[in-house]
Amino acid sequence: MGRSGSRRSVRVGHLLREELGQALGRDLGDPRLRFVSVTAVEVTDDLRHARVFVTMLGEESERESSLEALERATPLLRALLGRHLELRRIPELEFRYDTSLDRGFRIQRILQELAGDEDGDDR
């Protein structure tokens, strides 16, 4: 599942991201999913599988618990998608934690530390 994909798979990915984001906030009452956000969806060209990237607040154990809740909610989420989207087939959903925000925060922290070192340099 590359990032490029066909125009159709990219369009379906955007639709899935929007609908899943709304469904998480609107239709699921599991408290483990309260702070889950869908950041991206990659759909295979044949539209059979979708990799759903999510972020959430909390420690690693809370993230694992949220991912488990998403896995359990997958049949319900697919049913909701089927009602809201005009697709012949709803893709199988695979949820993954999106590490890009964590990497961004780490880079930002390093840059701030480097900027602080330069400010305190006595040269």
Whether residue 115 is contained in a domain is answered as no
CA atoms within 13 A on the CB side of 25: 8
Q: How many domains does the chain have?
A: 1
Closest to 87 (Cα-Cα) out of 54, 53, 39, 46 = 46
Q: Name residue, tokens 């989420």.
A: 77
Segment 72-97, tens digit of pLDDT: 999 999 999 999 898 889 999 999 99
- CATH number of the domain at 44, please: 3.30.300.20
Model confidence, pTM = 0.77
Whether residue 111 is contained in a domain is answered as no
- Which H or E run includes 14? helix 7-26
Q: How far is CA 87 from the centre of its chain?
A: 21
Whether residue 31 is contained in a domain is answered as yes
pLDDT band at 56; cut points 50, 70, 90: confident
Q: Which domain holds residue 58?
A: 7-98
Whether residue 117 is contained in a domain is answered as no
Segment 104-123, tens digit of pLDDT: 777 888 888 888 866 555 54
Burial of 29 by CB count in 10 Å (0-12 exposed, 13-18 middle, 19+ buried)?
exposed
Distance (Å, whole) CA 72 – CA 75: 7
Confirm if 5 and 45 have CB atoms less than 8 A apart.
Answer: yes
